[in-house]
Structure 1
Amino acid sequence: MNQTISSLISDKISSINFNAIPEQVRERAKYLIMDALGIAYASTQYDFAEKTLAGILAISEPTPNGVPVIGMNVSLPARDAAIVNGLLIHGLDYDDTHPKGVIHATAPVLAAVLSQSHRLQKSGEDLLTAYIVGIEVATRLGAAAKGGFHQVGFHPTGLIGAFGATLAAAWLDKLDAGQMTHAQGITLSLASGSLEFLQDGAWTKRVHPGWAANAAITSASLAKHGFLGPKETYEGRFGLYASHLGADFKLEGLEESISTIGQEWELMNIAVKPIPACHFTHACTDAAAIIAKQFNLEDILKIEAKVPAGVMKTVCEPAENKQKPANSYEAQFSIPYSVATGLRFGRFSLDALDEKAYTDPETLALAAKVISVPDPDADFPRYYSGEVVVTLNDGKVISHREAINRGADVRPITNGEVEAKYVENTGNLLDAGKIAQISSALKGLENQSASQLMNLLSTQ
């Protein structure tokens, strides 16, 4: 029998160590973690963070020896802390994305790694290595679906992120290759993530990464203690891809992609978000902002937004909901609102998530003029392109196309820009000394323990 994909992954992951990872990759990983932590701090100011913590505390016990929750001055058992930390990282939809995998890989992987490395008293070097391990797995598994999960209603960040997080958690707990294979099989029954939240702006998407991290820590521990999981986790008759994408889905190229782990680094292809909204909206938002000063808004007759066909269900449908978002989450997943915001204000910032912003009559009047159409020239999912075409009352047409979204591999957000984003996200919560202290700790992560970092992050 040929080697299964899960065992191939296990063999590749088992051989990775800190010194085998290029310095450039390690450095970028630190800045991706910095980005995630800045977003987590910003999330603590929103209702969803407080209510999630309250719900977890009702069924869990704070423990002095537990894992700190970022910025919330409480420590919880490892899996419960992972749920909350994952939610904080992903809660504002401002976290990074791997375009080909259409997955926010950092949120589930980092949530698991923070808990597992603190619980096991690991070094910062181990924390960083495990994070990279998880990213390399999750991105490849996501890319193999070719954007298909979104089309059938599954959220890859929760579903696929659980597998990357599982390998990261298993690596930290020193599972052997056989145990890692069982852990992946166990996760097959624990991984989840429905896109039904898109219908009404429900909060469930926010908890997907934390739940994935919870599943990962559970699977790794069960496998370490002899629990048996299926072996054909990915390619089996009822494996990941057949069960979620249908028996007719052709799983192609995954083994070849897995074989490059340790030689090619998908982490370097991760796109950092410059806008706190679904990545599918960014190009149109930027295009709108670029042309906004070329005309008066009251002179607009109609607006056409061209987006990849593969994102229409997520950010364009149903049109009536997208043109008039009922809450901040619907606003983040709305092409009409994003375009209208770009036209009015020249950017889409965290302020756009305030109720007064997404209920503003002038913005909604612009959004009502936006018609979304599929772009036949889109290179999706490699890039999340967008074009805005504005027709004025006098017949004049003004347009701009962003063929490649900011943050993509050929338009990367620099490490300096990541740090500026981190400072902006934490600026209203932390004093300048604490902001600099966390930044310094991350840049020298390999020179301290994971617990030192987690204790630093526990308070505001």
Structure 2
Amino acid sequence: MSTAQSTTLAEQLGAFAAQLRPDDIPAQVRERACHLMLDATGIACASTGYEFAQRTLNAARELGEGDSDVIAMGAKLSLRDAILLNGVLVHGLDYDDTHGRGVIHATASCYPTALGVAAKLSVSGADLLCAYVVGMELATRIASVAKGGFHQVGFHPTGLVGAFACAVIAGKLQGQSAAQLAHAQGIALSTASGSLEFLEDGAWTKRLHPGWAGVAGLTAATLARHGFIGPKATYEGRFGLFNSHLGERAAECDYSLATADLGEVWEVTQVAVKPLPACHFTHACADAAMQLRQQGVRSEDVHSIVALVPKETVGIVCEPVASKRRPKNSYEAQFSIPYAVASGLLRGRYGLVEQEAQALTDPQVLALADKVEYAIDPASGFPRHYSGEVVVTLNDGRVLRHREAINRGSSDRPLSNAEIVDKFRENAATTQSPQRVDALLDAVLHLEDRPARACSQALAARA
């Protein structure tokens, strides 16, 4: 899969995507990819029980129905709207996977796009899986170039970078040449988006980002297939992705990360599956708090708490302090270190139940959240690891601490495939019958053995 004759990054990535075949992907990589899609499927099922899912479906239906499937909702929409809604379902609970170095939820855009386009074109499940892996490699690598910079200037790489990966997924499934795939990426430069403003008030827009990346990518790819011309220097140009979106931080980019060992080292294996339904930046401190509770710390004995966090995450999960201590909805709770730590110490858990309205107004957890301060972690492993530590000072003067140097679920401390199956079953069972849970499991884990359309139809049926 040589890309030696290529010049721009878009051309190199397009050549890689055009040449990759299912058998080029090692068996263990394909197996892990299926489990990442299984994890996403379970989360999508759970999301169907929430208000945001039904409201998004209502809006999509108003725009027109079609013949493309929506996971676990029994609905038929146009291809682009089905991709949009499936992205909302996968990402809606902030429980989906994360690539650490890229700080991107790549499956949430790549899976709905690959599933929808593959089913529409009636290709094989093996081709669907191959396209998904291609998208994951591109999304994680392109995001990694920025070294976490997109978040620092207010862009969400899940939506922003996801559009380029989805353009290549759609184009590959359409049988496009390397040159067409390069143009598709260039066109996506004008359709990609994703603002972090939702952090200010818990708005629902973050849920929209991965599905919209799929919509943008499919649109760009289809235009390229019909000969529409995109700019060449998509990523490294004067107004390319990094220079236009990062400003002065563009100087910190490492463009070699986009293609280093491409086709030899598989970033799919570096994707972290979330053990907790919240922003990955809160996980280490939440787990540390739960460990301290297991060691006997009780809320009534706590005088003060300090959470040590990577400096790059402060503006996302620690500030503004007042609102982080008083999350008004589940989304704000998912991005709150004070709430995550308080919940972990008080309840010994931090799951979907802890983000419901009654839990958010619990006076005990709010009183404990008031005691949580943050400090920059001097030993942070960010972005490879989303490290965290909780230091508790008790009323009697004793100081207890627990550190999670490597966050649970990360590539260096991964959930096993068996643990992913358990997580899938737990999530899917919130809305699906036991028989449906088994059928969904079979459809995804045996994806390569059936047509893509059959898999899509199996996922779409109601409970």
TM-score (norm. length: structure 2): 0.97
Per-residue deviation, residues 296-349 of structure 1 (Å, max 9, x unmatched): 211111110010000000000100000000111000000000001111121211
Report the AA paired with residue 354 of structure 2: A
Q: Which deviates the most, 370-379 or 302-311?
A: 370-379
Counterparts in 2 of 1:259 and 1:146: CA distance versus 1, 3 Å: closer
The aligned residue for residue 447 of structure 2 is 445
- Is 2:339 aligned against 1:337? yes
Q: CA deviation at 1:257?
A: 3.9
Q: Runs in 1 of length 4+ with deviation above 4 angstroms?
A: none
Q: CA deviation at 1:30?
A: 0.5
The aligned residue for residue 18 of structure 2 is 14
Q: Is the 8 A contact 1:5 1:255 kept in 2?
A: no
Counterparts in 2 of 1:386 and 1:327: CA distance versus 1, 3 Å: same
User: For 1:55, which of 52, 59, 64 is the aligned residue?
Assistant: 59
Q: Is the 8 A contact 2:145 2:257 kept in 1?
A: no
Q: CA deviation at 1:11?
A: 1.0
- Is 2:222 aligned against 1:218? no
Report the AA paired with residue 213 of structure 1: G
- Size of the aligned set, in residue pairs, is 457
Q: Distance in 2 between matches of 1:2 and 1:108?
A: 27
- Is 2:36 aligned against 1:35? no
- Is 2:437 aligned against 1:435? yes
Q: Distance in 1 between matches of 2:300 and 2:14?
A: 59
Per-residue deviation, residues 184-217 of structure 1 (Å, max 9, x unmatched): 0000010000000000000000000000000011
The aligned residue for residue 238 of structure 2 is 237
Q: Is the 8 A contact 1:12 1:259 kept in 2?
A: no
The aligned residue for residue 247 of structure 2 is 246
Q: Distance in 2 between matches of 1:262 and 1:87?
A: 30
Q: CA deviation at 1:161?
A: 1.0
Q: Is the 8 A contact 1:31 1:419 kept in 2?
A: yes
User: For 1:323, which of 305, 310, 325 is the aligned residue?
Assistant: 325
- Is 2:445 aligned against 1:419? no
- Is 2:375 aligned against 1:370? no
Q: CA deviation at 1:247?
A: 4.9
Q: Is the 8 A contact 1:82 1:213 kept in 2?
A: yes
The aligned residue for residue 90 of structure 1 is 91
Alignment of 1:254-333 (within 5 A): 254-255=255-256, 257-293=258-294, 294-333=296-335
Say which SS state the counterpart of residue 319 (structure 2) adopts.
coil
Q: Distance in 2 between matches of 1:416 and 1:301?
A: 40
Per-residue deviation, residues 253-279 of structure 1 (Å, max 9, x unmatched): 434541522111000000000000000
Say which SS state the counterpart of residue 391 (structure 2) adopts.
strand
Say which SS state the counterpart of residue 56 (structure 2) adopts.
helix
Q: CA deviation at 1:59?
A: 1.7
Q: Distance in 2 between matches of 1:391 and 1:424?
A: 36
Q: Distance in 2 between matches of 1:230 and 1:352?
A: 47
Q: Is the 8 A contact 1:140 1:254 kept in 2?
A: no
Q: CA deviation at 1:73?
A: 1.0
Q: Distance in 2 between matches of 1:183 and 1:281?
A: 36
The aligned residue for residue 132 of structure 1 is 133
Question: Which ranges in structure 2 are unaligned for 5 or more consecutive residues?
Answer: none
Q: Distance in 1 between matches of 2:347 and 2:452?
A: 41
The aligned residue for residue 383 of structure 2 is 381
Q: Distance in 1 between matches of 2:355 and 2:50?
A: 11
Q: Distance in 1 between matches of 2:285 and 2:256?
A: 35
- Is 2:120 aligned against 1:116? no
Q: Distance in 1 between matches of 2:154 and 2:323?
A: 18
Q: Is the 8 A contact 2:276 2:283 kept in 1?
A: yes
Counterparts in 2 of 1:153 and 1:253: CA distance versus 1, 3 Å: closer
User: For 2:404, which of 402, 413, 419 is the aligned residue?
Assistant: 402
Q: Distance in 2 between matches of 1:158 and 1:410?
A: 26
Q: Is the 8 A contact 2:192 2:213 kept in 1?
A: yes
**CA RMSD after TM alignment:** 1.2
Say which SS state the counterpart of residue 457 (structure 2) adopts.
helix
Q: CA deviation at 1:252?
A: 4.6
Counterparts in 2 of 1:381 and 1:454: CA distance versus 1, 3 Å: same
Q: Distance in 1 between matches of 2:104 and 2:186?
A: 20
Q: CA deviation at 1:403?
A: 0.5
Q: Is the 8 A contact 2:147 2:253 kept in 1?
A: no
The aligned residue for residue 72 of structure 1 is 73
Q: Is the 8 A contact 2:22 2:127 kept in 1?
A: yes
Q: CA deviation at 1:428?
A: 2.6
Q: Distance in 1 between matches of 2:92 and 2:364?
A: 27
Q: Distance in 1 between matches of 2:252 and 2:169?
A: 24
Q: CA deviation at 1:409?
A: 1.4
Q: Distance in 2 between matches of 1:261 and 1:392?
A: 51
Q: Distance in 2 between matches of 1:21 and 1:358?
A: 45
Report the AA paired with residue 228 of structure 2: F
Say which SS state the counterpart of residue 317 (structure 1) adopts.
coil
Q: CA deviation at 1:108?
A: 0.6
Q: Which deviates the most, 290-299 or 100-109?
A: 290-299
Q: CA deviation at 1:359?
A: 1.2
Q: Distance in 2 between matches of 1:332 and 1:198?
A: 10
Q: Distance in 2 between matches of 1:2 and 1:441?
A: 38
Per-residue deviation, residues 336-391 of structure 1 (Å, max 9, x unmatched): 00001111121211101210011111111111110011111101111000100000
Per-residue deviation, residues 383-405 of structure 1 (Å, max 9, x unmatched): 00010000011111011010000
